[in-house]
Homo-oligomer: A and B are copies of this chain.
């Protein structure tokens, strides 16, 4: 199972080659990720309330086919279980049946001073398990 969010390509996201500029996929990943996370109390604002931040430490994306102005795209999100206090999200950007891009972000957990945590605090852990469950993990 995966979580899906739908976006319509905006005019200003398209570059002079008439395709979406590659950097905008990073924003799309985030839109989908935060939409999923917010259902489980894990979006940036909700994390802050429980004293946590989850900065991106690793980002990757493979671009397969270009998206164009007005396209309706779906960002499909899956997660990986990690041994350590990390979150890994995998993204597939689709237009109908076509895969446009595949990517991944890795997040660490820190306290509000930015100190990295080696264990996921209980409340975050509880919310994370609910998010995993929603993804059938």
Contact = CB atoms under 8 A, between A and B. Distances in A.
B23 A10 contact: no
A14 interface: yes
Contact of A30 (B10, B30, B45): B10
A73 B12 CA distance: 19
Interface stretch (A53-61, A81-89, A126-134): A53-61
Interface string A9-27: 0111011111101111011
Contact of A70 (B26, B43, B53, B114): B43
Interface residues of A, number: 39
A44 interface: yes
Contacts of A30: 10-12, 23
A43 B11 CA distance: 9
Interface of A: 8, 10-12, 14-19, 21-24, 26-27, 30-31, 34-35, 38, 43-45, 53, 55-64, 66, 69-70, 114
